[in-house]
Amino acid sequence: MFWPMFQLVLAFLGVAVLGVLAVRVGLEARRLARAVADSAARISGAAEDLERAAAPLAARAGAARKAYPWHTAGK
């Protein structure tokens, strides 16, 4: 009767260890998802900053193209 009870205890401990590991994986996945969301927000902000910085340059390039039409790339 000892060995069946011993095997039952080992099986229970194995399931308990797997449960603890599953909880840890879930917590790490949540942390990773939060980090990805933060990174996506930072990238979006950087893209908006780049658009704002590029708008005056594009306007100047358009004005230069109108002022000097013979220097266009489509020759």
Q: Which amino acid is at 59?
A: A
Kindly state the average pLDDT of the residues 2-25: 97
The tokens of 20 are what? 């603890």
- Tell me the C-alpha to C-alpha distance, in Å, between residue 14 and each of 18, 22, 26: 6, 12, 18
Q: Say whether pLDDT at 18 is over 80.
A: yes
Query: Nearest-5° angle of CA 20, CA 21, CA 26?
Result: 100
- What's the mean pLDDT in 47-56? 92
In a domain, 16, yes or no: no
Query: What's the total number of domains in the chain?
Result: 1
In a domain, 64, yes or no: no
Query: Would you give the DSSP letter of residue 73?
Result: T
pTM: 0.61
**Inside any domain, residue 30:** yes
Residue 45 has pLDDT above 90, yes or no: yes
- Could you tell me the residue range of the domain that residue 36 belongs to? 24-54
Q: Is residue 15 part of a domain?
A: no
